Amino acid sequence: MTSDTADDGSARITFSDPDLAFLRHARFGELPARIRPSDTVELVETDPKRDWPDLGPSRAQVEAQRGGG
């Protein structure tokens, strides 16, 4: 770590690569283990694909619910 003084009197701190690696490790900790392709599984969707959104109840369903028969 080195300190440089700018023209306006403020100090500017610069870090070396090993210093930055240490600070990154101190802040974020260890990375999780890498996931290998052989450890993953392929997902299969079980719900049928919907081509269009549901438009709500039909007119017959609304009338039956209201008791209009």
**Is the CB of residue 28 less than 8 Å from the CB of residue 20?**
no
Grouping H, G, I as helix, E, B as strand and the rest as coil, residue 2 is strand
- Per-residue confidence in pLDDT tens, the chain, 69 aa: 666 655 676 788 899 999 999 999 999 998 888 999 888 888 887 877 777 777 788 888 888 888 865
Structure token digits, residue 36:
């290998």
User: How far is 23 from 16, CA to CA, in rounded Å?
Assistant: 11
pLDDT of residue 10: 75
Amino acid 15: pLDDT? 93
Give me the pLDDT at residue 47, please: 78
| Residue 62 burial (CB count, 10 A) | 11
What per-residue confidence (pLDDT) applies to 3?
A: 62
pLDDT of residue 9: 66
Taking the C-alpha atoms of residue 28 and residue 43, their distance in angstroms, rounded to an integer, is 31
